[in-house]
């Protein structure tokens, strides 16, 4: 072995020894030190993330940003949820998941007045808002076209948060002096609410029948027939197509 090879061998051994010391100091010793040592999980709720990091680190724990949550009441960057929960005993070295607060995105409520119910829903959806079916009310409004929005809450331009809901009232037009049975044949059973309210009638008995001439859930016959005059709030019996099993 010449002198160059000897020096190279010594240098390699020194390097491996140095890396070995670092490995033991940074990885092995912490694992040995923390093995079996338990601490009580601290309460990180409503702490800014830098304080949560410090508190967890002082106990031998590590914070991991596990997600965000919109919260209008907590400043951004504060902990709004954690796992494990505070008070539990955990081993040092444990990773703690923390969910941080973010400010909600505020938008102006769109003006839905005079729009059809369908268009109102589309515009609300495009703005990140919702009009649930149970917040769509119907009432007779003489002078307003049937099927258009005549009231909304909140009003146009009021501040809202994305995901909020809007309540609307849909005009049924002028109240009829005589109740006439509307034609329901060919209509989807789930889509006749407006028609029933507008004509002041109700659905009575629903009978399911196999009828290859109509799509499933479509009304294939009704009693009384369309055009019949009735007392207000009378009931119409219908037969609805179902698929053959």
More confident residue, 7 or 43: 43
Q: What is the DSSP track for 182-217?
A: PP-TTSBGGG-HHHHHHTTEEEEEEEEEE-TTS-TT
Strands of the 167-171 sheet, one edge to the other: 136-139, 167-171, 149-153
The CATH class given to the 40-103 domain equals alpha beta
Strand partners, 138: 170
Band of pLDDT at residue 33, cut at 50, 70 and 90: very low
More confident residue, 32 or 69: 69
Q: Is the overall model pTM greater than 0.75, yes or no? A: no
Percent of the chain with pLDDT over 90: 69
- Quick: pLDDT tens for 188-225: 999 999 999 999 999 999 999 999 999 999 999 999 99
Could you tell me if residue 130 is left (phi over 0), alpha (psi between -120 and 50 degrees) or otherwise beta?
beta
CB–CB of 235/202 below 8 Å? Answer: yes
Q: Looking at residue 162, what is its pLDDT?
A: 86
Instruction: Give yes or no for residue 172 having a pLDDT over 90.
Output: yes
CATH number of 106-171: 3.30.10.20
Q: Tell which residue, 187, 193, 172, has the closest CA to residue 220.
A: 187
Longest dimension (CA), the chain: 116
Q: Using CA atoms, how far apart are residues 66 and 138, in angstroms rounded to an integer? A: 44
Q: Looking at residue 21, what is its pLDDT?
A: 53
- Quick: pLDDT tens for 109-165: 999 999 999 999 999 999 999 999 999 999 999 889 999 999 999 999 999 988 899
Instruction: Give yes or no for residue 29 having a pLDDT over 90.
Output: no
Q: Tell which residue, 171, 58, 71, has the closest CA to residue 114.
A: 171
User: Which range, 2-6, 43-47, 104-108, has the best average confidence (pLDDT)?
Assistant: 43-47
User: In this structure, is the dihedral angle defined by the CA atoms of residues 72, 73, 79 and 81, taken in order, positive or negative?
Assistant: negative
Q: Which two tokens stand for residue 183?
A: 């034609």
What is the mean pLDDT of the segment spanning 168-178?
A: 90
Q: Using CA atoms, how far apart are residues 62 and 53, in angstroms rounded to an integer? A: 7
- Show me where the domains of the chain are located: 1-35, 40-103, 106-171, 179-242
User: In CATH, what is the architecture of 179-242?
Assistant: 2-Layer Sandwich (3.30)
Instruction: Give yes or no for residue 90 having a pLDDT over 60.
Output: yes
- At 153, is the secondary structure helix, strand, or coil? strand
More confident residue, 13 or 49: 49
- Taking all residues of the chain, what is their mean pLDDT, rounded to a whole number? 87
Instruction: Give yes or no for residue 24 having a pLDDT over 60.
Output: no
């Amino acid at each position: 072995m010449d002198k160059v090879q000897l020096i190279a061998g010594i240098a390699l051994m020194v390097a491996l020894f140095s890396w070995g010391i670092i490995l033991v100091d940074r990885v092995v010793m912490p694992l040995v030190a923390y093995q079996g040592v338990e601490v009580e999980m601290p309460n990180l709720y409503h702490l800014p993330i830098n304080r949560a990091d410090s508190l967890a680190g002082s106990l031998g724990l590590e914070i991991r940003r596990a997600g965000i949550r919109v919260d209008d009441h907590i400043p951004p960057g504060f902990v709004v949820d954690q796992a494990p929960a505070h008070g539990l005993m955990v081993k040092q070295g444990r990773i703690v998941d923390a969910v941080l607060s973010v400010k909600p995105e505020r938008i102006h409520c769109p003006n839905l007045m005079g729009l059809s119910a369908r268009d109102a829903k589309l515009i609300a959806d495009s703005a990140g808002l919702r009009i649930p079916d149970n917040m769509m009310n119907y009432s007779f409004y003489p002078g307003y076209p049937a099927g258009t929005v005549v009231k909304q809450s909140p009003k146009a331009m009021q501040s809202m948060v994305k995901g909020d809901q809007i309540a609307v009232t849909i005009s049924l037009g002028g109240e009829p002096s005589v109740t006439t049975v509307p034609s329901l044949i060919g209509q989807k059973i789930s889509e006749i609410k407006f028609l029933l309210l507008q004509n002041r009638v109700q659905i009575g008995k629903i009978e399911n029948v196999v009828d290859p001439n109509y799509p499933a859930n479509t009304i294939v016959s009704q009693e009384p027939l369309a055009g019949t005059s009735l007392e207000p709030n009378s009931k119409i019996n219908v037969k609805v197509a179902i698929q053959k099993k």
